[in-house]
Structure 1
């Protein structure tokens, strides 16, 4: 059942004002979006998948955000959030992965998509090699944007919405087991209302694998309801990682919050319409946590006990997630 809480109008207005002032000013900082492709192996084939790149104005990006959409969605639905990361100084790559495929090469596990996700992990696993698929796609995006050639950033945030959250956890663990030098570059796994597949155990395998390493894993979730499979991905997270802070739940959130202004009728009809205070809180916290993770800092305002974080709690916008 969804958790709902009524808040007073003054408290709500105050929270929205704080959220809008605290989040990165996307309109004030320029970035460039480049529509491109990236090669991902599937069985005996190579799929050339859509991959949107968001290039920040700075010549020295903070890091790379790999941003994965959910089931029946595309990279276009993640553009609003991607722009906020880019405005804060991140290079963002948002690929589209299939939601249906006869070879099982899908974002959600509809049979056995583990071999395909191993190939998705290889994108980051070989990112340090200029001949790797992700590096080639980045070089091509820079050329399209008229930017000078540059290597990919060496600090990574792996973020995923819905079924993309399961991908994020699985990919991070695959890097740990197969590409340890690249895993050392992962600063944060960010789960946005994660949903685990009804088939298989990719999310549990991923989370349990990275749990002992201490890699930060933060979620921004909505309450349990049909659209997010009763928050089964968040339940998996809090069961597998026994940590006092694992992110927040938006108390009146919906499954489309992570898509923000990039959502569409397919999401809102099935999942509800995002409320502006929830979009603002999600974007603010996601970007702030990513920035801290790659820089090795802790900006107190965005964690329990900090001014912005506690204002969300006081207004009933968020609740703290912690491990069991």
Structure 2
């Protein structure tokens, strides 16, 4: 059955690639730990190695804080993308003290089978980070695009398994597939866990914000921000948001062609600021008030960082509501 499912995923991947004009490249297997290409940080390191998930070896990237990590966040890439495309965003999170894991793999429809298998492995805690680092007990799920659906399925699996130290989710312009709403509801647990997202303007690539309905339907009073404009010049909006803003300087011509736009450096910086702060808060059980609203429908309840974008006569962003 599993082989048949994988064959189906492979067929869907090929069809989706033809439709979008993108070409997905399978990651090269690495037999041993090695440093990630072009990674530089004084407070963290990136290591590529292999992780066996349900009997299959996967190339994975680990982002390891120099200090003891406060949590493990799984942050997965989108459809036809790879972990290297999230390097800058993963670095921003790791530099806040959160260990990051990304699995290179087929993200067609969020690959719920792989998400479930990884969830079982994480529940059993029968794996270890490289470089002698301890595996944190607290988990956060996250992802971009189809990787956002993968994150939702992973979080739902951890919840179904009764894993008691799931902190919540941080998603970047997620694209929903079947079961997304139920997955987010499981992660949220009636608003007891945070589910947060930074999204871009509606486009074909993000299925016209098809994840918003599930986010808005949660019991959580605040689920994040939609970035809209970079700035206004003489009252004219300049520089919109793009589906690949999370990739930033790590994107490539395939990502740009697929998204139909280039990553905006200002939006990338905003996204990483919010995403890394939320991840740190989930990891440590704190709340940096500037990055939240008490009630997304009432701007006056929002913190300073949110207000700076939304509480304007010409707003640059909007709470997801």
Give your verdict on TM over 0.5. Answer: yes
Task: Choose from 247, 257, 261 the match for 2:224.
Answer: 247
Q: Contact 2:142–2:169 (CA<8 Å) still a contact in 1?
A: yes
- Note if contact 1:278-1:317 (Cα within 8 Å) is conserved in structure 2: no
The aligned residue for residue 93 of structure 2 is: 85
Larger % of helix: which? 1
2:181 aligned with 1:204, yes or no?
yes
- Are positions 1:162 and 2:145 aligned together? yes
C-alpha distance after superposition, 1:209-260 (max 9, x if no partner): 3343421100100111101111112233223x13321100011311101112
d(CA) in 2 for partners of 1:38, 1:234: 33
Q: RMSD of aligned C-alpha atoms? A: 2.0
Higher relative contact order (CA 8 A, sep 6+): 1
| Aligned residue number for residue 70 of structure 2 | 62
What aligned pairs does 1:279-318 form with structure 2 within 5 A after superposition?
279-304=268-293, 305-313=302-310, 314=312, 316-318=315-317
CA contact (8 A) 1:219 1:234 kept: no
Q: Which 4+ runs in 1 deviate beyond 6 A?
A: none
Secondary structure of 2:105's match? coil
Structure 1 unaligned spans of 5+: 1-25, 99-106, 143-148
**2:187/2:195 contact within 8 Å kept:** no
Closer, same or farther: CA 211–168 of 1 in aligned 2, 3 Å: same
Q: Distance in 1 between matches of 2:244 and 2:202?
A: 13
Contact 2:44 2:65 in 1 (8 A): yes
TM-score between the two structures when normalised by the length of structure 1:
0.75
| Partner in structure 2 of residue 8 of structure 1 | none
Post-superposition CA distance 1:158-187 (Å, at most 9, x none): 111101111111111111112x1x2x2111
Q: TM-score, normalised to structure 2's length?
A: 0.76
User: Aligned pairs, how many?
Assistant: 260
CA–CA distance in 1 between the matches of 2:268 and 2:113? Answer: 34
Aligned residue number for residue 152 of structure 1: 135
Distance across 2 between alignment mates of 1:55 and 1:207: 27
Secondary structure at the aligned position of 1:72 is classed as coil
